[in-house]
Chain A
Amino acid sequence: MSKKTDSNLYTLLFAVGMVIVVGTVLAFFASFLKPNIDENKRLEKQQNILYAMGIHENEEGTVALISTDKVAAEFSKYIVKQLVIEGDKVTANDNAYLIDIKKEQTRAKEGKVRKLPLFLGKKDGKIYYIVPVRGKGLWDAIWAYVSMDENMTVQGIFLDHKGETPGLGANIKQRFFMDDFIGENLLNAANEFEGITVAKGNNDPKNLEKTDNEVDAIAGATITGDGVSAMIKSELSAYASYFIDLKKN
């Protein structure tokens, strides 16, 4: 008892038709909702930048970004200047925080000059220099917003990831890990750029030593940790010359 729906041609045509219909429906939804999604992502960036400079709603042990209804106002209040560094040229640009780091990294790989965004925040009379960075974890992208003072001492960091292992690599966005970075210096004793290494066995689990360029690693998250080290080293070194110039002047 062969039905017409069993023939190969029918099956093939059905599959093709289904793909066309489904593709159209999804494309419609994606483009229809895109403005909303983009707006949410924009606010999230602002939240993350503010978190790095210590403006958040953290309670004991938790990570809580500032709420979305307040973020736009707080962002314009605390972020006093947004700069774009392009080679030797530094220009002010109020939408520098919208620069796509991933695209700029590709540009750099192609041998072009990449745009480096830098945000200047001011809180209680103190200037924070906030830099977005992006790198690779174990499974997917990891990224961070690092705020520093003019000596490249870390004042705060917000780390996030796309798909690290829950309970292991995903813990980079927990307070205990992010808070370890505060006070660490990105320069070494000779005032050269060294970065911060996520180190195993540095005998400093409480992270009391702030001048060793090391924070304590998360057990079971070696590759994610190495990814964080590599990200900080390669991305922030691009900014080192800016900070050296800053000191000279």
Chain B
Amino acid sequence: MGLFKDSKLITDPLADNNPITIQVLGICSALAITAELEASIVMSVAVLFVLGVGNVVISLMRNIIPSKIRIIVQLVVVATLVIIVDLVLKAFAYELSKTLSVFVGLIITNCIIMGRFEAFALANGAWRSFLDGLGNAAGYGLILVIVGFFRELLGSGTLLGIKVLGDPIEKTGAYAYGYENNGFMLLAPMALITLGIIIWIQRSRNNALIED
């Protein structure tokens, strides 16, 4: 029974309690970095690491953190983990670290992370916090990957840099039939609209999510 209950911690944020589409947290980074699928995936992995480990750390410390400075302690934990992620990216994925540069730093301000620390890890054990962290980061990552998939496909005609729709300059594949890339997809407004469509689909499938 316990296992079943805990598994909801992972599955809930993937769908009916998704941090982006339902709680509308972490929107800023979801709009900013989803022009390419690869950046979306790396950002998701980075957040998964930070939120998973951060939740455990906060949860383990929850009884010794002085309540007066608990927000500062949370910030320090996130900042430390983010700097580690940044250093690792710089060491092993330099090109990517330049693309993501500011956004990796911005993980610190990602509301999902502080939100989960404050709402969950401070009140729950390490294992449950870990699951909660993974679940929420996965829910965030899922939306990022969906948005990134459509934006890269429709905006650049590529997926992970591979030209899946043919070559736009030499007019092969779909381009031979007059298909054009939609450059607008690469701009932030279309990320918002894509996100809106996802929210629309999700809410029309589950009426319980619609607020009055």
Q: Residues of A at under 8 Å CB distance from B?
A: 3, 5-6, 10-11, 14-15, 18-19, 22, 25-26, 29-30, 33, 36-37, 40, 43-44, 59-60, 68, 163
Contact = CB atoms under 8 A, between A and B. Distances in A.
Interface residues of B, number: 22
B87 A15 contact: no
B87 A29 contact: yes
The 9 closest A-B pairs by CB, nearest first: A36-B91, A40-B94, A11-B66, A33-B91, A37-B90, A5-B66, A33-B87, A22-B80, A37-B91
A68 B92 CA distance: 12
A60 B181 CA distance: 14
A15 B84 contact: no
A54 B68 CA distance: 58
Contacts of A37: 87, 90-91, 94
Given A6-B67, A29-B83, A33-B90, 7 more contacts: A15-B72, A22-B76, A36-B90, A37-B87, A44-B94, A60-B169, A68-B94
7 contacts: A11-B68, A14-B66, A18-B73, A25-B80, A36-B91, A37-B91, A68-B95
Contact of B80 (A6, A26, A36, A40): A26
B69 A5 contact: no
Contacts of A10: 66
Nearest to B66: A11
Contacts of A15: 69, 72
Nearest to B64: A5
